[in-house]
Amino acid sequence: MTFHEIWSIVIPSVVGVVGVLSGIWIGQHLSDRKEERKENEVMEKMRYLLNADYTLINRMITNYEKSLKEWNDVIAKNDQIATLYVSDLNNMRDLIVAMGVKLGYFTYWDTITSSGNLMKLKPDELRIVNATHNSVSQIRNMQDESFRVFSNDVLTQIFQNTNMNQRISILRQKISLYITNSLEACRIIKEHMINVKQNISWVDLKTEPILAYKGVSNQSNKIKKEIFVREDGVTVYPSGMEVDRKGTILKMEKNNA
């Protein structure tokens, strides 16, 4: 067999092998790229949900701090409104329930952890995320227990064992203490949010959780109404009562004109 005849057999075989190997490599490369894109999408979604949680917590804390200070001013400085609340246990409970906004509730945490993707974070990120969740949840549980005791046990005892004059003084002290403790809880939680932002590059505390709202958390619907001030300067309270800038009650309840 001549040299040319040998090459005429070998070359097609080599080309065929190279073609097969090239096809395998290209297929594997495309598969790897697909898996990489999928992994990136998973990480992006998880970071989005964590960021949305931190944003919601931080935003709620900021609004709650403002409301707590307004409530404190109402009870401490406005005798007319204070008397209205302390004269009736139901009115007082309405106010206390409005104060009982849940602090530090992680809306999407269960969704994130159930997927198992949390472990894909970098070690330092995972440590910070877990520590933040544990610390904030502990503060939230303590605040929930404080609210439960105050709204049930303490409030009932005060109304059962005091007259009107005693009640105003005692309730002002108790509410002031409750608000002080709540503001301290807010401060600590905000520090945790700031720490997360400073130590994890992709946390911005500005992520709008619009998409995540669709499938998660009925808890957000349980958040109680807050005191707010209308454009005309009238303050509207959780019970529906409306008070103008001078402290005059314009409307007592939602059902009254």
**147 and 250 share a domain?**
no
Whether 71 is in a domain gets the answer yes
Q: What per-residue confidence (pLDDT) applies to 212? A: 41
Whether 32 is in a domain gets the answer no
CB 204 within 8 A of CB 216: no
Domain that holds residue 233: 227-257
* Dist CA 173 CA 167 (whole Å): 10
CB 108 within 8 A of CB 212: yes
Instruction: Write the DSSP assignment of 159-188 as a string of letters.
Output: HHH--HHHHHHHHHHHHHHHHHHHHHHHHH
**143 and 203 share a domain?**
yes
- Of 184, 155, 54, 33, the residue nearest 95 (C-alpha): 155
Q: What per-residue confidence (pLDDT) applies to 256? A: 42
Answer whether 0.85 is exceeded by the pTM: no
Q: What per-residue confidence (pLDDT) applies to 94? A: 77
Whether 10 is in a domain gets the answer no
Mean pLDDT, 10 residues at a time, over the chain (257 residues)?
52 52 55 69 88 88 83 76 77 75 78 87 94 93 85 84 84 85 92 95 82 39 47 64 59 50
Bridge partners (DSSP) listed for residue 235: 229, 243
Whether 14 is in a domain gets the answer no
Whether 7 is in a domain gets the answer no
Q: What per-residue confidence (pLDDT) applies to 105? A: 81
Whether 13 is in a domain gets the answer no
Q: What per-residue confidence (pLDDT) applies to 134? A: 95
**217 and 194 share a domain?**
yes
Whether 244 is in a domain gets the answer yes
**233 and 204 share a domain?**
no
Q: What per-residue confidence (pLDDT) applies to 216? A: 37
Q: What per-residue confidence (pLDDT) applies to 252? A: 54
Q: What per-residue confidence (pLDDT) applies to 78? A: 74
**114 and 207 share a domain?**
yes
**174 and 116 share a domain?**
yes
**148 and 237 share a domain?**
no
What's the total number of domains in the chain? 2
